[in-house]
Amino acid sequence: MRELQRIWTAPKTLLVLLLLAVLNLAVFAGFCRTESGHYAEEAQQRSEQTETYLTSGYQQYLSYITAQSQAQSILGALGKQSSFITRNREQTIADFKALGELTLQSGEENGIRTLLRFTLTDYLMLLAPLLLVMELITAQRSACGAMLRCTKKGRCQLMLWRMLALFSVSAVSVLLLWGGNLMYSSVFFGDPVLDRPLQSIMEFQQCRFALTVGEWFAAMGICKLFAVFCIALIFWLVLSVCQPILSVLVLLLTVGGQWLCYMLIVPAVSFNYPKFCNLFALLDADLFFTDYCNLNWFSYPFGMFESCVIACAILLILISVSCIVCIAMLHPFVVGGRVQYYGEKLRAWCSVRFGCHSLFWNEGKKLLIAQRGLLILVITAALGYSLWQDLMFYTATDYQMLIIYEQYEGEVTDEKLTKIADRIERLENNVQQYKISVQHAIDIGLSDFAVAEAQSKLAQAENELHRYQDVQAALLDVRHYTEDTGYDAWWIRQNAYIHLFSESAGVRRCGMLLLLCLVFLFSGIGAYENQYGANPLLRSTKRGRWGRNRSKLLWIVGLSSIAALALYGIHALRIADSVGFAFMEAPMHSITILRDLPFSISLRSFILLFMAARMLAAVLFALAVAWIGSRCRNTQNALLICLMIFLLPAALCETGIGILRPADWICWLGLYQ
């Protein structure tokens, strides 16, 4: 009991959970704002589809499933089919027959749809339990851990209390992150109506469980809890029993292999057991409620959800017993010594043959290998690729305006102004003629169809006239600005440039990822030597002062610049791919939001300058992180302090707390303050 109390009263545990909750909420809030823009564009179409689905669509789907299964059963009786196919058809009819009496209700669906698409929370849930596992392993290998093992209660009983503590941390992590997403989506999008049937939402049309929306939330949370707890136990067992090199290989085969099976195996293949009987399937859990599939177990159909639960329950029991036996009862029980020996021999051979022994490369190895900077960069790259897929920019296409842009876009000349004035004069004459035609049709008593046709032509002519008048006003505005300020300006399409230079949910997601990358990457670069007490010794040498600091500075400048260029470059390239930058040789004051700047260069040059300024901001930010981290005793304290200073205010601002706007480091990195 005291071990459980010790873990939960430790400030580190509470701080990690708080930071994870705030970080998840901040990223989820940005994702919600991005998705809301997409939902707004398809709101009308989605509303019509939902109304049709609630009134008749779901019942038609149930009838179709039953009729199709019965028809296949009749056809199967004429031929030779396996017993599994016959039983599977009967099982399908029985599963969906019980759902025919459900009364579907309308409610807000965008929040639930956003929850289904946002998968980052599933992996953030693992961080707090895994950090606790690392802390427990450190305690096991310490001198205090050896003393505790000498007592009767310091073995199995202590192990059980620590497993209970790990389970409680996993439960709180799931509650804070998954529950936080539910609460925020309900506030942001609206009440999802928790007591209505789950099948009221179109995405759950194939769900065979008679659940309400609230019961689905609870079931998802329970699935995620047991998946997180089981994965944490696997890490604890492998890292405690195996030598470092073997532990990496075993974790890649077990945890990494399950993740690959879940991501790569298609549900429709015959051998789909590794996809469904999988911890990551239980961690995601969406598939069990949005799809329908029965697994073939010895010619008998069995639901994919039940199969996954039973398989994971057996794995959980085996892992729990193995942890108690191998860590508590048979300690020290270590395997992989031979693999570790050959790994060290290979490392020494590669160091002699191919190693770079300069001070610069040694600092790089400390940063990228010892402090796991390479892993952080790989994770950042993976999340950046995910951003590339998620970021979308839409612009309404007006083909009439495209024709006008082709005629008048570019530098505003007297010829263009005269041309559009003549065009407007002709359109005004056309409008007058159409008005006379409409009045004449009414006076002579033509049919309603003829009058409506004349009025339609009049409306088209008036719309075209208003469009050209707006363009003339924009051209004159550009001409007057040029004459008043002396800065050149053209009339061009501005949508892509406004997306690039304005603050938006998409660019804030890029800034949040850059912020996390810089904090995790450079918070320990100065605290690493403090952790081992080597800093005074290094400073006593000449190269340990100037040379070491110069090498660290080069790594900070290089990696932070590359990270900023890559992440903000993803945003810029996505805009160029979706909307496209027009007339990049035009003066920068052609964009209205840039007209207050006191210098004039081309838009292409300004974009390069803007990206260079963002890279400089990232370098300065990374230097601040490294300086604060160098004042800490160890890398863990440095990381937590930097997260509190830099991440916490930015994350709170992301959730809508405007009073912290001056401390919104994401805006400073993106140059929006």
pLDDT at 224: 92
C-alpha span between 471 and 642 (Å, rounded): 51
Per cent of the chain over pLDDT 70 is 90
pLDDT at 389: 72
383-393 pLDDT tens trace = 887 777 777 77
Q: Is 500 helix (H, G, I), strand (E, B) or coil?
A: helix
Which of 89-98, 133-142, 316-325, 648-657 has the largest mean confidence? 316-325
What mean pLDDT do residues 19-42 have? 79
Backbone phi, psi, residue 296, to 5°: -90, 100
DSSP state of 332: S
Q: Where are the domains of the chain?
A: 2-334, 399-491, 495-670
What mean pLDDT do residues 260-266 have? 83
What mean pLDDT do residues 587-615 have? 89
What mean pLDDT do residues 12-21 have? 84
Least confident of 148-162, 183-197, 237-251: 148-162
pLDDT at 544: 67
What mean pLDDT do residues 597-618 have? 90
C-alpha span between 389 and 383 (Å, rounded): 10
pLDDT at 336: 66
pLDDT at 556: 92
C-alpha span between 530 and 182 (Å, rounded): 42
What mean pLDDT do residues 492-498 have? 85
**Conformational region of residue 644, where left means phi above 0, alpha means psi within -120 to 50, and beta covers everything else:** alpha
Q: How would residue 185 be classed by pLDDT, with cut points 50, 70 and 90?
A: confident
What mean pLDDT do residues 392-401 have? 68
Burial 249-279 (b: 16+ CB within 10 A, else e): bbbeebbeebbebbeebeeeeeebbebbbbb
466-490 pLDDT tens trace = 888 888 888 889 888 888 888 888 8
Strand partners, 410: 491
Q: How would residue 76 be classed by pLDDT, with cut points 50, 70 and 90?
A: very low
385: exposed, middle or buried (C-beta count within 10 Å: 0-12, 13-18, 19+)?
A: exposed
pLDDT at 77: 45
Per cent of the chain over pLDDT 90 is 10
In the predicted model, is pLDDT for residue 496 greater than 50? yes
Quote the pTM value: 0.76
Q: How would residue 622 be classed by pLDDT, with cut points 50, 70 and 90?
A: very high
What mean pLDDT do residues 89-93 have? 77
pLDDT at 159: 81
Q: Which long-range contacts (CB under 8 A, 24 or more apart) does 332-340 make?
A: 333/241, 334/241, 334/242, 334/243, 335/241, 335/242, 335/243, 335/246, 336/242, 336/243, 336/245, 336/246, 336/247, 337/243, 339/243, 339/245, 339/246, 339/249, 340/243, 340/244, 340/245, 340/246
In the predicted model, is pLDDT for residue 198 greater than 70? yes
In the predicted model, is pLDDT for residue 162 greater than 70? yes
Q: How would residue 80 be classed by pLDDT, with cut points 50, 70 and 90?
A: very low
Q: How would residue 229 be classed by pLDDT, with cut points 50, 70 and 90?
A: very high
Q: How would residue 158 be classed by pLDDT, with cut points 50, 70 and 90?
A: confident
pLDDT at 74: 47
What mean pLDDT do residues 611-636 have? 90
419-453 pLDDT tens trace = 888 888 888 888 888 888 878 777 777 777 777 88
Least confident of 174-178, 602-606, 629-633, 647-651: 647-651
Helices (H), 579-670: 603-630, 635-642, 648-654, 665-670
**What is the SS3 string spanning 219-234?**
HHHHHHHHHHHHHHHH
Q: For all residues of the chain together, what is the average pLDDT? A: 81
In the predicted model, is pLDDT for residue 351 greater than 60? yes
pLDDT at 557: 93
Q: How would residue 617 be classed by pLDDT, with cut points 50, 70 and 90?
A: very high
pLDDT at 620: 93
Least confident of 144-153, 170-179, 214-223, 505-514: 144-153
Task: Note whether 629 and 535 are within 8 A (CB).
Answer: no
DSSP per-residue codes, 23-85: HHHHHHHHHHHHHHHHHHHTHHHHHHHHHHIIIIIHHHHHHHHHHHHHHHHHHHHHS---HHH
